[in-house]
């Protein structure tokens, strides 16, 4: 039987609902239950793919090619369960489904309304493909009290009624702030937030209270009594030094036990959390530190590189070192003599990105890494910049560029308007829609035996990785670039799309067209991140 746990948020946003949901799922999973996490987002975009990283942080891509909320990245990293298109729905997606059905005439003349048609569509989105689960955790984006989340709250209220307390549970995340002048933790915002929920007919059964210090018994009793929840279900969620410490912290507060009690499931035995403890131990007591420069564009907004930062941490875990990240806006390297600042780092990474601004700085960083033999990792846009750098400085093509910026006489990176996926040919129109029109999701690549890339993947010659890009390295330049020393060590199975590049005469220089950071997990660091950090540890010994 599938039980649904709904996680809402109150008081303010950014309380870490995604991590909290992922941590609860990890605890239930550690007890042997089959879990899946889903996110409902109240905005009108059909998916976050068209949103600026400044607005919404990273766009997380699933194997099946959906552009989703970054919380799905936390879900995958904490549970190892691969998310799918079905695991993220937005108001925009729900409405467009309902409106498409209305146009087809599926409603047989009925007046189409928010209740029941939108709420029914939400209920379908929540419950579809959940039969093989013990628990499905549904995170509701936004904050209770927002107008836009009302249809979602109404839908989960109805599900609570239809499936009853044996099949549903409501967890509400709130803030219990410490007011220095009073010297007290304040429970009033929590009380108000629960009132907001009650207004829409939802009585939470658990309160997860974010706070910066333990909640004294007196305050806990007050919250329980005013908000009508069991005192043992008032869970203090203290700030953690690493997100990977959150599952153990919540377990110590009794969160998983209370959820099982709610569903009348056995809760006495403790789950085996030793693998979480091992991760936390390595993160808290590293054997050294490596400094990595991330040379990008959105470096002032770390949410836009969420998975990247996590994957680098995982690479550190694999090598038992702390990875200190130096986020550098690539534009600084467009001033003379600034790139020597990179002398102090042990590895240089140029991540994914869009648009021309800052590209010359990225190319300068690539050149510095190549010439000074500093470990280099180029991801997606970073790989494209590495290829342009090679073309300009080694292959005698000073005008080499990407057609993403402007028409160029040497389109070393360009727009491919069609490529093979399985037996189908996908077509892209150059001037078409922006939403959902990139090469998205998992694609296979073949690695050259004896390449560094293949060695990184334990000798594998066939891999599958996730993509999100519109432009491709132009295979017509392959021979010219290989003559100049660049090795095309990974290609799409049809040999048309370059997937991995490297240099043979460099300690560690790898560019990949895909996004390996999306599949890295704390328990299974992605081999390229483990390898990049291992090479950076070597570099740290040299300098």
Least CB distance to ligand GLN at residue 55 (A):
17
466 binds ligand GLN (CB under 6 A): no
Tokens of 459: 């000798």
Residue range at the interface with ligand GLN (CB under 6 A); choices 69-77, 183-191, 449-457, 468-476: 468-476
Could you say whether residue 65 binds ligand GLN (CB under 6 A)? Answer: no
Nearest CB to ligand GLN, comparing residues 38 and 469: 469
Beta bridge partners of 487: 502
Q: For ligand GLN, which is the closer residue by CB, 36 or 515?
A: 515
Q: Is 209 a catalytic residue?
A: no
Q: In terms of DSSP bridges, do strands 178-179 and 184-185 run parallel, antiparallel, or are they unpaired?
A: antiparallel
Regarding 261 and contact with ligand GLN (CB under 6 A), the answer is no
Q: Does 469 bind ligand GLN (CB under 6 A)?
A: yes
- Minimum Å gap between C-beta 352 and ligand GLN is 3
Q: Are 48 and 67 contacting, i.e. CB atoms less than 8 angstroms apart?
A: yes
Closest by CA to 223, choosing from 212, 237, 239, 234, is 234
Q: Does 470 bind ligand GLN (CB under 6 A)?
A: yes
Q: Which x/- pattern, by CB under 6 A, does the window 374-403 give for ligand GLN?
A: ------xx----------------------
Verify whether residue 517 is a known catalytic residue. yes
Q: Are 272 and 32 in contact (CB under 8 A)?
A: no
Catalytic residue among 380, 467, 506, 526: 380
The answer to the question of residue 352 lying near ligand GLN (CB under 6 A) is yes
Least spacing, CB of residue 427 vs ligand GLN, in Å: 17
Write down the residue that tokens 């660091």 correspond to: 525
471 belongs to the binding site for ligand GLN (CB under 6 A): yes
Instruction: Say how far residue 377 (Cα) sits from the centre of its chain.
Output: 19
Residue 92 is a binding residue for ligand GLN (CB under 6 A): no
Binding segment (CB under 6 A) for ligand GLN, from list 42-50, 327-335, 352-360, 387-395: 352-360
Q: Which is nearer to ligand GLN, 430 or 542 (CB)?
A: 430
Distance CA 458, CA 491 (A): 18
- The β-bridge partners of 206 are 171
Q: Kindly indicate which of the ranges 5-13, 50-58, 305-313, 462-470 contains the residues binding ligand GLN, using the contact rule CB under 6 A.
A: 462-470
Of all residues in the shown chain, the one whose CB is closest to ligand GLN is 352
Any catalytic annotation for residue 74? Answer: no
Asked if 468 interacts with ligand GLN (CB under 6 A), we say yes
- Compute the half-sphere exposure of residue 1: CA atoms within 13 Å on the CB side of its CA: 10
Place of tokens 């304040």: 186
DSSP 92-156: HHHHHHHHHHHHHTTTTTPPP-IIIIIHHHHHHHHHTT-TT-SEEEEEEPS-TT-GGGHHHHHHH
Task: For residue 419, state whether it binds ligand GLN (rule: CB under 6 A).
Answer: no
Answer yes or no: are the C-beta atoms of 349 and 536 closer than 8 Å: no
- In terms of DSSP bridges, do strands 60-61 and 67-68 run parallel, antiparallel, or are they unpaired? antiparallel
- Give, in order, the Cα–Cα distances in Å from 200 to each of 5, 58, 151: 17, 31, 10
Does residue 404 bind ligand GLN (CB under 6 A)? yes
Task: Name the helix (H) or strand (E) containing 274.
Answer: helix 274-284
Q: How far is the CB of 290 from ligand GLN (least distance, A)?
A: 24
What residues are labeled active site?
380, 515, 517
Site of interaction with ligand GLN (CB under 6 A): 352-354, 380-381, 404, 468-471
């Amino acid at each position: 039987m599938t039980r649904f746990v709904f996680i809402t948020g109150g008081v303010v946003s950014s309380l870490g609902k995604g991590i909290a949901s992922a941590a609860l799922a990890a605890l239930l999973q550690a007890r042997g239950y089959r879990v899946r996490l889903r996110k409902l987002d109240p905005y009108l975009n059909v998916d976050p793919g068209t949103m600026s990283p400044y607005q919404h942080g990273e766009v997380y891509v699933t194997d099946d090619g959906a552009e989703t909320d970054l919380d799905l990245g936390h879900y995958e990293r904490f549970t190892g369960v691969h998310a799918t298109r079905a695991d993220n729905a937005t108001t925009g997606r729900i409405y467009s489904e309902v409106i498409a059905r209305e146009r087809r005439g599926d409603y047989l003349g009925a007046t189409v309304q928010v209740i029941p048609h939108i709420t029914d569509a939400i209920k379908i989105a929540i419950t579809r493909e959940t039969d093989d689960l013990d628990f499905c955790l549904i995170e509701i984006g936004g904050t209770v009290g927002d107008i836009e989340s009302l249809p979602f709250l109404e839908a989960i209220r109805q599900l609570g009624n239809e499936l009853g307390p044996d099949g549903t549970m409501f967890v509400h995340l709130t803030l219990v702030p410490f007011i220095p002048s009073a010297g007290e933790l304040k429970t009033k915002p929590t009380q108000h937030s629960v009132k907001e929920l009650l207004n829409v007919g939802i009585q939470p059964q658990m309160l997860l209270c974010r706070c910066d210090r333990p909640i004294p018994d007196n305050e806990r009793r007050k919250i329980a009594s005013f908000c009508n929840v069991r005192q043992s279900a008032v869970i203090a969620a203290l700030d953690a030094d690493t997100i990977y410490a959150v599952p153990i912290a919540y377990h110590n507060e009794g969160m998983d036990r209370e959820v099982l009690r709610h569903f009348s499931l056995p809760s006495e035995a403790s789950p085996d959390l030793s693998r979480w403890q091992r991760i936390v131990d390595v993160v808290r007591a590293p054997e050294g530190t490596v400094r990595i420069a991330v040379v990008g564009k959105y470096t002032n907004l770390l949410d836009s590189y969420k998975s990247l930062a996590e994957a680098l941490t995982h690479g550190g875990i694999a090598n038992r070192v702390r990875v200190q990240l130096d986020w550098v806006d690539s534009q600084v390297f467009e001033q003379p003599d600034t790139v020597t600042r990179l002398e102090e780092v042990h590895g240089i990474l140029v991540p994914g990105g869009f648009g021309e601004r800052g590209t010359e700085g990225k190319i300068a960083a690539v050149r510095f890494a190549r010439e000074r033999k500093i470990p280099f990792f180029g991801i997606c846009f970073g790989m494209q910049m590495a290829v342009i750098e090679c073309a300009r400085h080694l292959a005698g093509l000073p005008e080499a560029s990407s057609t993403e910026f402007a028409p160029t006489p040497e389109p070393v990176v360009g727009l491919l308007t069609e490529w093979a996926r399985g037996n189908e040919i996908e077509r892209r129109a150059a001037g078409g829609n922006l939403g959902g029109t990139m090469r998205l999701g998992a694609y296979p690549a073949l690695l050259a035996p004896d390449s560094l890339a293949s060695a990184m993947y334990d000798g594998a010659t066939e891999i599958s990785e996730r993509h999100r890009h519109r432009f491709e390295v132009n295979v017509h330049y392959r021979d010219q670039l290989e003559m100049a020393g660049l090795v095309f060590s990974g290609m799409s199975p049809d040999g048309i799309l370059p997937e991995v590049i490297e240099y043979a005469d460099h300690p560690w220089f790898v560019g990949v067209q895909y996004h390996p950071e999306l599949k890295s997990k704390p328990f299974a660091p992605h081999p390229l991140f483990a390898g990049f950090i291992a090479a950076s540890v070597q570099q740290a010994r040299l300098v």
